[in-house]
Structure 1
């Protein structure tokens, strides 16, 4: 059940990150999920640094940090893609 939750949260975080950050991203649904999952890990690690929770615990603040992490991952992806 944890893997399905991770994929759903990743999809939500990736979609919201793409909606919040302006610009044209030609990503498919799989790339959006990967973006969100990477953002979830980044956000989870940030949250784990400041609390006693595990990286994989699901909370509302974790969802918010997942979106923030996905935004950071999207901006990094754009910079790497622009240089290539």
Structure 2
């Protein structure tokens, strides 16, 4: 059996703002009445496009942002950090 991609889930910071943006592009999302952080849209080609809001469930470990920034700048070839490392008061 040949695999078929029929669903694409995009993680967004704000579902309501994303739904408004995609509405301007002509897509009509249905927001889940039981879970406002999720919306879905059926496209004409059979693809189901979903939006899910990312909600942090716990604080990220110290230094996580710096590791992500270093990894991202390494991939882009840049030596400049993408974000500063949070500092704790001494």
TM-score, structure 1 normalization: 0.24
The structure with the greater share of residues assigned to helix is: 1
TM-score, structure 2 normalization: 0.23
Q: Which has the higher contact order (CA 8 A, sep 6+)?
A: 1
Structure with higher Rg: it is: 2
